Amino acid sequence: MKNKNAKSYTNAIGIIVLLLIIAGFIYYIATHLSDFKQLSLVNPIFILYLAIIVLLFSIASGLILKYTLVPFGIKMKFKEWFGLSTITTFYNTITPFRGGMVAKAVYLKKTHKFSYTDFLANYSGIYIINFLASGLLGMISMWFLYKESSQFNLVIFLIFLAFFIPSLGVIIFSPNLKDTKYSIINRVINLINGWNKLRRNKLVVFQVIIITIVQLALGAISSTISYHIFGIELTLSQAFFLVSIGTIAGAFSITPGSLGIAEAVAVFSALAIGITPAQSLTVAILGRAVSTIIIFILGPIFSYFLLKNSKENNSKNEK
């Protein structure tokens, strides 16, 4: 009963936050309508490129899942790892607090007997590497921004540093721990040891770091193209700066698909490099529209395939 009440409470918070952000955006648009009217689609054909990048990003996410499951003895084919990547984004989009993660965990548990403890360790490990790469590239992009235009924001730099250093520490220093006589403590120990199973496989860690950097590069290219569609040109350092902040902020989602949160972060981070809210909000809405269309096409399709695959595997195990 307490869990249901807590879930209802957190869902209510997410909805309230979303409504407040949407109300803020509506107010801003209504009071700055002239700024938005000045924007126009200069290169609409580039929207097709954004759709391709959304697909490539999903493939990269699927590959990360595929490689990080290898140390746990799980091997997946394309339909599974790409499908799980797609439905994770799909259910994250339609449910608050990352419902896609729950769907993925349940599928892996039923189909591959992958424990929830190991799943959380795997999930945490992916985010640790994500924070490491985002923090590092964010600081590098800020250095280039300072060299190019003397732009520097100490608070944002410290945020990047605050994610980079602990992530690096966890990757380098994570001892194996022995079980205790306390079951609750043992759950935490199993979580840490599950991460160590992943961390010890240096090839997998290297693969995930490379793919994560590729994802950040795809995000930077997507940002550059999105602004270019409206005739606004970004430098490479500006694009990496925006995507690094967006990636870190995206981990803390309390609304469906980070709706409103992602757009708010995009607007405020863009302000730091001289981009107006009208420009950044328009670009963010375009990106949201493109990704939502792609995910809403693929999500139900792969939900059906994976549900069917899970039932077939369960039938084989029963025999």
**The pLDDT value given to residue 22:** 65
User: For the whole prediction, is pTM greater than 0.85?
Assistant: no
Cα separations in angstroms, 154 against 142, 145, 147, 247, 272: 10, 13, 15, 19, 11
What pLDDT score does 281 carry?
84
Separation CA 319–CA 317 (nearest Å)? 5
| pLDDT per residue of the chain (319 residues) written in tens, 0 to 9 | 445 555 555 556 666 665 666 676 666 566 655 555 555 666 778 889 999 999 999 999 999 999 999 888 899 999 999 999 999 988 888 776 667 888 899 899 988 888 888 888 888 888 888 889 999 999 999 999 999 888 888 999 999 999 999 888 888 877 666 767 766 666 666 666 667 777 888 898 899 999 999 999 999 999 999 998 888 889 999 999 999 998 888 777 666 656 667 777 888 888 888 888 888 888 888 888 898 899 999 989 998 888 887 776 666 655 5
pLDDT at 136: 95
The full set of domain ranges for the chain reads 46-311
Q: What would the pLDDT profile of 222-241 be if each residue is shown by its tens digit?
A: 999 999 888 888 999 999 99
- Cα 185 from Cα 55, distance rounded (Å): 41
What local confidence, expressed as pLDDT, does residue 58 receive? 94
* pLDDT tens, position by position, 160-176: 999 999 888 888 877 66
What does the pLDDT look like over 260-275, one tens digit per residue?
677 778 888 888 888 8
- Please state, in angstroms and rounded to a whole number, the distance separating the CA atoms of residues 103 and 132: 26
Q: What is the pLDDT of residue 195?
A: 72
DSSP-assigned letter for residue 53: H
3-state SS of 160-205 is HHHHHHHHHHHHHCCCCCCCCCCHHHHHHHHHHHHHHHHHCCHHHH
CA distance 213 to 219: 10
Q: How far apart are CA 178 and CA 190, in angstroms?
A: 9
